[in-house]
Structure formats: C-alpha cells, structure tokens
C-alpha cells in the first residue's frame, strides 16, 4: 500500500484538530462547513488525488491571505490576535506550498492507483 508522507499526515491532524477546537469553543456553521469540506478533501488527498491536493492547496493559500488581511486590520485593536492570525496564516501558506511543490507529494500522487470506471 502506498503510504502518504509523514508531513502530510501531521498537517492533516493539525488542521483538522484546529477546526475541531474552533467548533468546540464556538460553534458556527461556517467552521462546520470548513471542517466538512476539509475532511472530504483530506480523504482524497491521503489516497493520492492530485486534483484534491491542488484544490486544498488553493483553499489553504486563500485562507492564509484572508488571515493576513484580518491580521492587518485588527493589529491596532488586538495585537495578540493579529499575531495569532499571522502565525496561522504562515502555517497555512507553508502547507499550501508543500502541497504544490513537494517532490514527496508528487511521488506519492504518482504511485496512487488511477480511478477505474466499471
């Protein structure tokens, strides 16, 4: 069986855990939707889907940009919150870059079995 890279597994657990903590602390339908979409995408990414990996990378990159804009907007009112936004945005940006450019991810995706139609 083709095993996903360990960095991908750690990132999956970290991101899904982050969303679960957000849901536990303050349930909102938006976060619940993000969790649902993320679980579906990670399900396919961990099985080697290049399309799901690219979609997830784009969504993580966009989330990082939104968090950076939010950090800039809230810095004067809440510096600690802005720093947290910046750290999370940096981690999301690193993960998006890893999904796009990592040779380990590309090798893992190349070994995945292609979909077979009946």
Structure tokens given for 100: 């796009």
Examine residue 68 and state whether it is found in any structural domain, yes or no: yes
**Number of domain units in the chain:** 1
Phi, psi of 6 (to 5 degrees): -65, -30
Examine residue 1 and state whether it is found in any structural domain, yes or no: no
Examine residue 118 and state whether it is found in any structural domain, yes or no: no
pTM of the full predicted structure?
0.85
Buried b or exposed e, range 41-65, using 16+ CB within 10 angstroms: bbebbbebbbebbebbbebbbebbe
pLDDT along the chain (118 residues), means of 10: 87 93 93 94 93 94 94 91 93 94 91 69
- Tokens 């600690």 belong to which residue? 80
Q: Is 18 helix (H, G, I), strand (E, B) or coil?
A: helix
Examine residue 117 and state whether it is found in any structural domain, yes or no: no
Phi-psi sector, 42: left (phi>0), alpha (psi -120 to 50), beta = alpha
Pick from 18, 23, 4: nearest CA to 60: 18
pLDDT for the residue 1: 57
pLDDT for the residue 23: 93
pLDDT for the residue 110: 87
Domain range for 87 is 6-111
Query: At what angle are helices 103-111 and 50-74 packed, to 10 degrees?
Result: 150
């Amino acid at each position: 069986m083709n095993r996903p890279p360990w960095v991908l597994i750690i990132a999956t657990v970290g991101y899904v855990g982050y969303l679960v903590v957000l849901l536990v602390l303050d349930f909102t339908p938006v976060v619940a939707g993000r969790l649902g979409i993320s679980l579906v995408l990670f399900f396919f990414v961990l099985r080697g889907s290049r399309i799901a990996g690219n979609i997830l990378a784009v969504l993580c990159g966009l989330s990082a940009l939104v968090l950076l804009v939010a950090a800039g907007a809230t810095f004067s009112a809440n510096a600690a919150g802005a720093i947290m936004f910046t750290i999370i945005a940096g981690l999301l940006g690193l993960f998006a870059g890893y999904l796009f450019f990592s040779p380990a991810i590309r090798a893992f995706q190349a070994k995945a079995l292609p979909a077979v139609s009946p």
